[in-house]
């Protein structure tokens, strides 16, 4: 079920939140630096445990509720405080964890065009997935819809300022990986 439908007429962004996303606030966020325009969109992937989908553990992770005893991998990430603005599940369902107007903790040590600390000026979208498994049609559709809204509300984000996590943290991060079809995504953005 896709909870994001531009045809409904209600789709939009109000006070930093998508009107049709599922809200689930993360404590892992803070204020952006004053006067810092939002000028970058970063595409990520995540699955917990790695390579498994639909578990609900990503929500637990972003809200500091992940039980490390549930899987050996969770012990390696226990105590990390991470978030993203949006999470798009395999069926296209969109959850918003952080207002776009606040700094989500998604990029880590990062730099874009010589400017460090990408969390300060970026919006982070996590796709449920991993580097080497194809993303779903529903995910591409949802990602394109929310991206178009973000581009309209935050005009400092230009098409050339939509990047993968791997581009802002090379050598440290590889997502969204080879499975992400950038040409398909950009073609969907051009349809608006």
Q: Mind listing the pLDDT tens digit for each residue in 109-153?
A: 999 999 999 999 999 999 999 999 999 999 999 999 999 999 999
- Written as six digits, the tokens of 87 are 């999470």
Residue with tokens 């204020």, as numbered in its chain? 31
How far is residue 39 CA from its own chain's centroid?
Answer: 15
Per-chain mean pLDDT for the chain: 94
126 catalytically annotated = yes
Q: What is the DSSP letter of 49?
A: S
- Residue 6: pLDDT band with limits 50, 70, 90: very low
CA distance 47 to 91: 14
Check pLDDT > 60 for residue 75. yes
pTM summary value: 0.94
Among candidate residues 167, 20, 29, the one with its CA nearest the CA of residue 88: 20
The region that residue 58 occupies, defined by phi over 0 for left and psi between -120 and 50 for alpha, beta otherwise, is alpha
Q: From the candidates 89, 126, 128, 191, which is the catalytic residue?
A: 126
Work out whether the CA dihedral 24, 28, 30, 36 comes out positive or negative.
negative
Give the pLDDT mean for 64-86: 97
Q: Which residue has the higher pLDDT, 93 or 11?
A: 93
Tell me the two tokens of residue 125: 């979208």
Question: What class, spelled out in words, does domain 6-190 have in CATH?
Answer: alpha beta
Closest CA relative to residue 168, chosen from 120, 102, 96, 132:
120
Q: What are phi and psi of 41, to 5 degrees?
A: -120, 125
Helix, strand counts (H, E) of the chain: 5, 12
- Per-residue pLDDT band at 15 (split at 50, 70, 90): very high
pLDDT over 60 at 4, yes or no:
no
User: What per-residue confidence (pLDDT) applies to 190?
Assistant: 86
**First and final C-alpha spacing in the chain:** 22
């Amino acid at each position: 079920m896709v909870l994001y439908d531009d045809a409904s007429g209600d789709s939009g962004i109000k006070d930093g939140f998508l009107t049709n996303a599922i809200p689930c606030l993360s404590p892992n966020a803070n204020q952006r630096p004053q006067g810092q325009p939002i000028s970058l969109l970063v595409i990520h992937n995540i699955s917990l445990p790695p390579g498994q989908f639909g578990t609900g553990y990503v929500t637990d992770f972003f809200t500091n509720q992940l039980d490390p005893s549930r899987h050996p991998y969770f012990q390696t990430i226990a105590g990390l405080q991470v978030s993203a603005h949006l999470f798009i599940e395999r069926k296209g369902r969109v959850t918003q964890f952080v207002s776009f107007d606040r700094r989500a903790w998604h990029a880590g040590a990062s730099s874009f065009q010589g400017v460090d600390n990408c969390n300060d000026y970026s919006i982070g979208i996590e796709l449920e997935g991993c580097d080497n498994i194809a993303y779903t049609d529903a995910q591409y559709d949802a990602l394109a819809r929310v991206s178009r809204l973000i581009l309209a509300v935050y005009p400092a984000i230009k098409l050339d300022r939509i990047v993968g996590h791997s581009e802002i943290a090379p050598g440290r991060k590889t997502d969204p990986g080879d499975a992400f079809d950038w040409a398909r995504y950009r073609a969907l953005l051009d349809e608006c």
